[in-house]
Amino acid sequence: MTTTELPLVPHWIDGAPYPSAGGRTADVYDPALGIVTKRVALADATEIAAAIASARKAQEQWAELSLARRQSVLFRFRELLEARKPELAEIITAEHGKVLSDALGEISRGQEVVEFACGLAHHLKGEFSEQVSAGVDVHSVRQPLGVVGVISPFNFPAMVPAWFFPIAIAAGNAVVLKPSEKDPSAAIWMAELWREAGLPGGVFTVLNGDKEAVDGLLAHPDVAAISFVGSTPIAKYVYETGAKYGKRVQALGGAKNHMLVLPDADLDLTADAAINAGFGSAGERCMAISVAVVVEPVADALVEKITERMSALRIGDGRRGCDMGPLVTRTHRDKVASYLDIAAEDGATIVVDGRSVRPDGAPEGFWLGPSLIDRVPTGSRVYTEEIFGPVLAVVRVNSYEEGVELINAGSFGNGTAIFTNDGGAARRFQREIKVGMIGVNVPIPVPVATFSFGGWKESMFGDTKAHGAEGVKFFTALKAVTTRWTDPGERATVAASAQGGGINLGFPQND
């Protein structure tokens, strides 16, 4: 089959597929097979304008519907997603490569936010103060922003968009989603599900594309806010550019997540956690543990236990019941593998080299097995850079204090974990560590939907985090209303006073 004969992933505009008019496209791969399986349209200026115009028109009508009507669509979407999420998991595995069980887990975590949004009427309630001055009351309301853009990464094509769009839509906004061009089909599937749930056309739009689409959303005057997840350099660009155009922006960047292991930790539990958090989804998670900071004298024992568990992992096609799949592209696979050469050059010890893996899958797939590197120097790029692959580094320290100082000195501040049986040490750690999300004997501390997701430092740009109460604040504008209603007798008194003393031009006083 030639490239021109491959299926085309279209845009989704005004509630229907919107094929590209013969413009630019990009290849979409099946990472486990190493072949192009479809193409995706890349939006041009005309398509960007059409998407935003449709969203703006639809939003005005959607916001006028009652909360009860909007909530009924959210409930229907939730039920359809629950019934059909195995379909979505297969799409994710075919384009991203993660195993089916992991894809299902991703969808379930996104579904938590849908369920949170189903009760958004409670979170949209304003406040009321009576008689703040004589005959004066004040109340507040939260209203939708208008059209909002969501720019999501390749590693979670369902969960990350679902951090944002359920709350935005429930609050009365219209969403233009720009998914990763590496795995765009999940977004189209969700758009079809929204239509089936009864969402009016234009309220949920999918605009496929690359930098041109991103810049179009950032610059367009009808887009009020941008939610972004991706690498730190691009997050910073999105934040700065969006701010220049007067937009509200939340831009979640990269990470270098540490696991601090104290000598009293349960090493079997810790080794299991390191395997799960380091190699799940081929390490392509912003919350992956990429560095184990081990307080001596337990590093040798922990490295041995991790190595034993790694030997039992089955690497291969995610549709074959394997533990870990391929990386998303050949280019990314080669970049991640290059860090093993860097580690050797910097004097680290390569305990397990994933380049020698024998996968249960097509030889042409983008394979790299889990890799374990011990005694990594903290000046090495293996330690300082976000690798975003199945590479776990071990750094040895002599004390709790040394470990905390090392973690806090890093430029990222997304998530971290401590493994210990000492409650006092755990409490001290969660107070002293400078990151946004902390796990205590929990390796991937992603909060549930009722709390908010987001890091500190170079891992987060903007002051409002994802989902939870923070998400409600981000997707709504707060309005305060001050009212005075006078009875007929009071109006007569006020009128008589004005005739005798003139009009008072002073600043209003609270009586």
Q: Which residues are catalytic?
A: 286
| Separation CA 368–CA 334 (nearest Å) | 9
DSSP state of 510: -
CB atoms within 10 A of CB 67: 13
How many C-beta atoms surround the C-beta of residue 444 within 10 A?
17
Distance CA 482, CA 476 (A): 19
Angle CA(104)–CA(107)–CA(109) in degrees, nearest 5? Answer: 110
How do beta strands 349-352 and 371-374 pair?
A: antiparallel
Write the single-letter amino acid at 39: R
**Inter-residue contact 249 to 238 (CB < 8 Å):** yes
Distance CA 332, CA 361 (A): 18
Burial class for 508, CB neighbours closer than 10 Å (0-12, 13-18, 19+): exposed
252, 229 contact by CB (below 8 A): yes
Strand-pair partners of 373: 350, 393
E-assigned strands of 207-288?
A: 223-229, 248-252, 257-261
Contacts of 502 (CB under 8 A, 6+ apart): none
SS3 46: helix
Number of C-beta neighbours around residue 191 at 10 A: 22
Which tokens hold the place of 367? 């394979």
127 within 8 A of 155, measured Cβ to Cβ: no
What order of strands is seen across the sheet that includes strand 25-30?
Answer: 8-9, 35-41, 25-30
